[in-house]
Amino acid sequence: MVKNISPSQNDLLIELGKLRRQKTEMETLQKRCQQTEATLKAIEERNRLLGDSAPFGIFTADLKGRISGLNRNIQKMLPWLADQHPGSMNIFEFQPLIDSGVGDDIRRCWKIKQSIIRDYSCIDNDGNCLALRFHISPVIDSSGDVSEVLAFVENATNLKLAQAAAEQSEQRYHLLFQSAPIAMIERDASELKAYLQQLHQSDDFNLSHYLRQHPEEVRHCMSLIKTVDCNAAFCELMEAPDKDFFMGEFPLASLGSEFQQMAEEVILMVAQGMIRREREQTIQTLKGNRKSVLVRSLVLAGHEDTLSRIVISLVDITLRKEAEEALRSSERRFREQALRDNLTSLYNQRFLYQSLTALIQTAKNKQTPLSLLFMDLDNFKQVVDTHGHLNGSYVIQEVAATIRNTLESPAYAVAYAGDEFVVVLPGSNLYQAASKASQIQSQIKTSVYLRSKGKAVQLQASCGIATFPEHAADTDSLLAAADQALFSIKKIGKGAIGYYKNIDQ
C-alpha cells in the first residue's frame, strides 16, 4: 500500500537531504583541517627541533624589530634580561645588539636587500667573552618586499682563539727561522707536484725514464719550485749579500756540476710525496766555493698533500769533512809508513810477507807465474870502509831509487836488510824475471852514486831468481829459493844472475 506524501512533506525531505550532505561535507572539511593543523604542528615541531639542534643561534625579527622566532642556542649566546623572555624583546631596544652595531646592520640589510656578515664580541650571561659572527639575511616575500630578517649567529670564539694561536705560532716560527744559527730555507713545491701529477697520466709512466729522455724537463721542473723565505745564516752559507737572490724560482746557478743528479732526486721525491729527511750534499756558493752540507728536510704539518711548505736546513760540514779526510790520509800515511823502510822508502819485510802470501794465492787461482829477485850489492863493505857509514846509507838510498825507477806496478821492491833487496814480479815467468834482473843490474852498474856529496861511487849487484810455481809453492819457500840462488851465484862470481833451477843440477 503506497502512502501519499504531501508537497510540503516532499520539500521537507529534500531540505533534510541537503542538510545531511552539508553535514558530511563539513565533517570531511573538519577532518582535513585537523590533518592540516597536525601537519603544520609537526612541521613547526620539526623546525623547532632543527633550530634547537643547529650548531648556531637563530632569530627572526620583523621590520619593527620585534623578535618573531629564536632557538635555544641564541638564548645562550646573548645576555638576555633575566626577567624577560627573549621572544618578547625588541632588537632595536636590546642594548648588547645596539652597542655591537647589529641593529644598524639589520636596518642596512632591509634597505639594501642583501645579506651582511659581521663579527662582533659580547659578554654572555656567564661572563664569558664570545666572538660571534652574524649572518644577517633579508626575507623577501612574493611581492619583492622585505617582510622580516633572518639571522644566523655562529660562535666563532674557538675559531678566533685557534686563529690567534696559529698566528702566534707562525710568529714564533718566523722568529726562530730568521734567528736560527743554522742555514734554513723554506720552499714551495706544490706547483711542481701538480705538474708531475699531470704528467703521470698512465700506470706505466716511468718518470726517471722520462727525465732521461727529456733532460730539458729537469730544469723546467726545478723552476716550478719556489723559494718562500730564507734566513741570514743561509745567505752567509751561500755567500750571498741578501735573500732577494733566492726568492722566487729555484736558484739553478747555485747547484754546481751535481745539479742533474740532485735535481732528478728532488723531482722523484716530490712525485712520490716522500721528502728524504737527511742527506749529505755538495753545493757551490755564489762565489764559486764548494761546500759540504748536511741537508735535513721537513714538510710542515698540514702541508703534506700539497708540499707547499718544505723547510730545509743546511749544516756546513765542510771543515768536518776536511778533518775526516785529513785523518783518513794521516791514517793511510801511518799505515804506509809502517810498511815502508825508513831509509829507502821502499817496502819493508812486514809488507813483503803480508803481500806475497796474497799474491801467491792469486797466482795459484789464476794459474799465472810470479817471480822473486833476491839482490845484494857486491863489495859494499869497501864503500862503507872508504866513505863512512853515513855515505854508505846515502848510497843505499840512491840504489833503492835506481831499482824503483825500473819497476812498474804491480811489481815492487823491498829493502830487505842492509844492502839486500827483494823485487817482487807478479805475472812474470823465469825468462821475464831474468830480463828485469839484467835491466836492474845494468842501471846500477852504469849509475854514479854520491855525486851530491862530491864523490863518485860505482857499484854492481848480484841476483838470484826463483819462480812460482816451478821452484816453490809458498812465501817462505819462494824467498828461500831466491836467496839460495843468490848465495850460489856469489860463490861462483859477482855481478851475475843465479837461477834456482841451476842449484839442483
pLDDT of residue 258: 55
- Higher pLDDT: 223 or 430? It is 430
Those residues whose C-beta lies under 8 Å from the C-beta of residue 124, and which sit 6 or more positions away, are 76, 77, 78, 79, 130
Indicate whether 98 pLDDT > 90: no
Cell of 51: 633550530
Indicate whether 388 pLDDT > 70: yes
Indicate whether 43 pLDDT > 70: no
pLDDT of residue 50: 47
Count CB-CB contacts under 10 A for residue 436: 20
Partners of 70 in beta bridges: 59
Cβ-contact 51, 58 below 8 angstroms: yes
Give 3-state DSSP helix, strand, coil % of the chain, rounded to 5: 50, 25, 25
pLDDT of residue 430: 93
Domain containing 76: what range?
55-160
Q: What percent of the chain has pLDDT over 70?
A: 89
Asked whether residue 19 is domain-assigned, the answer is no
pLDDT of residue 269: 83
Cβ-contact 92, 109 below 8 angstroms: no
Q: Quick one: pLDDT band at residue 295, thresholds 50, 70, 90?
A: confident
Asked whether residue 40 is domain-assigned, the answer is no
Indicate whether 249 pLDDT > 80: no
Indicate whether 46 pLDDT > 60: no
pLDDT of residue 389: 92
pLDDT of residue 404: 94
Residues 374 and 488 in one domain: yes
User: pLDDT per residue over 436-482, tens digit each?
Assistant: 999 999 999 999 999 988 899 999 999 999 999 999 989 999 999 99
Residues 373 and 441 in one domain: yes
Cell of 67: 623578535
Mean pLDDT of 102-109: 88
Asked whether residue 165 is domain-assigned, the answer is no
Indicate whether 53 pLDDT > 90: no
Residues 396 and 474 in one domain: yes
Residues 100 and 246 in one domain: no
pLDDT of residue 434: 93
Indicate whether 339 pLDDT > 80: yes
Q: Quick one: pLDDT band at residue 5, thresholds 50, 70, 90?
A: low
Q: How many CA atoms lie within 13 A of 336 on its CB side?
A: 8
Instruction: Report which listed range, 32-46, 191-205, 237-251, is most confident.
Output: 191-205
Which of 167-181, 240-254, 371-385, 441-455 comes out lowest in average pLDDT? 240-254
Instruction: Determine the Cα–Cα distance for residues 364 and 258; give it in Å rounded to an integer.
Output: 44
Asked whether residue 50 is domain-assigned, the answer is no
Q: Quick one: pLDDT band at residue 42, thresholds 50, 70, 90?
A: low
Angle between helices 475-492 and 349-366 (to 10 degrees): 110
Q: Quick one: pLDDT band at residue 142, thresholds 50, 70, 90?
A: confident
pLDDT of residue 358: 92
Indicate whether 415 pLDDT > 90: yes
Indicate whether 2 pLDDT > 60: no
Indicate whether 248 pLDDT > 70: no
Check which CATH number belongs to the domain holding 244 and give it: 3.30.450.20
Which of 52-66, 219-233, 406-420 comes out lowest in average pLDDT? 52-66
Residues 400 and 465 in one domain: yes
Indicate whether 83 pLDDT > 80: no
Residues 123 and 153 in one domain: yes
Mean pLDDT of 127-135: 85
Indicate whether 82 pLDDT > 60: yes
Residues 400 and 486 in one domain: yes
pTM of structure: 0.51
User: pLDDT per residue over 201-219, tens digit each?
Assistant: 776 788 888 888 888 888 8
Asked whether residue 419 is domain-assigned, the answer is yes
Asked whether residue 327 is domain-assigned, the answer is no
Cell of 31: 577532518
Task: Round the average pLDDT of the chain to a whole number and report it.
Answer: 83
Indicate whether 502 pLDDT > 50: no
Residues 485 and 360 in one domain: yes
223, 172, 175, 191: which is closest to 308 by C-alpha? 191
Residues 419 and 496 in one domain: yes
Residues 143 and 248 in one domain: no
pLDDT of residue 481: 93
Number of domains composing the chain: 3
Residues 300 and 347 in one domain: no
pLDDT of residue 17: 77
Asked whether residue 13 is domain-assigned, the answer is no
Q: Quick one: pLDDT band at residue 302, thresholds 50, 70, 90?
A: confident
Asked whether residue 497 is domain-assigned, the answer is yes
Indicate whether 329 pLDDT > 70: yes
Residues 349 and 430 in one domain: yes
